[in-house]
Structure 1
């Protein structure tokens, strides 16, 4: 049975320390890359960051990886850079046994913001 979390803090707090550290940094990266006025909530059981009360991006922790959803279309360079991390059409999957490319997560957020309009 899936757990239900009251907040993003509760969700992140449910993970072992090494995963919590990565999730907190992803959270900070998203907040730094997004415009002012974003919010947070739990959606589909995972953290969601909102902009203008609409979901902008989700992120999640798993046993062996962390994920960011959805994947924007982006430009050719973005598609090339995200290629190794794509899992399906709408997911970026970053293994926990390798450095997480936080700069790529920031680029993902900036593309998602740009593609909203």
Structure 2
């Protein structure tokens, strides 16, 4: 199977319920960085600001992941801690409500906005 060339192709490859979640994650990120360029990279979506990466997101079997998520200030880190999967990534299970507002706050921190 050929890897998707565009974000739209990537999203179209998911079941409707997961695609909706991924589209909402995409929109939450775009709410903060509307000027970001979107590309496929490493098989997932990368949003860049002025030629540098800002944030990646990808859909998996049971969760949506965001990468890389650096150490955050104490308040934000305490909110993201339940979702930490590794030092620099987070996972939001599809089976639970996705905290889109938290995704926006993390994106703002990463983008310096």
* TM norm structure 1: 0.91
The one-character-per-residue Cα deviations of 1:63-110 (angstroms, maximum 9, x if unpaired) are 111111111322100110001000011111000000000011001100
Note if contact 1:72-1:111 (Cα within 8 Å) is conserved in structure 2.
no
After the TM superposition, which segments of 4 or more aligned residues of structure 1 sit over 6 Å from their partners?
none
Return 5+ residue gaps in structure 2 as ranges: none
Residue in 2 that maps onto 1:38: 36
- Aligned CA RMSD, in angstroms, stands at 1.4
Shift of 1:37: 2.4
Note if contact 1:87-1:93 (Cα within 8 Å) is conserved in structure 2.
yes
Residue in 1 that maps onto 2:22: 23
Return 5+ residue gaps in structure 1 as ranges: none
2 CA distance for matches of 1:9 and 1:53? Answer: 21
The one-character-per-residue Cα deviations of 1:28-85 (angstroms, maximum 9, x if unpaired) are 1100012x42110001010010100221100000111111111132210011000100
SS of structure 2 residue aligned to 1:87: strand
Residue in 2 that maps onto 1:76: 74
| Matched length | 113
SS of structure 2 residue aligned to 1:15: coil
SS of structure 1 residue aligned to 2:26: helix
2 CA distance for matches of 1:33 and 1:40? Answer: 14
Residue in 2 that maps onto 1:112: 110
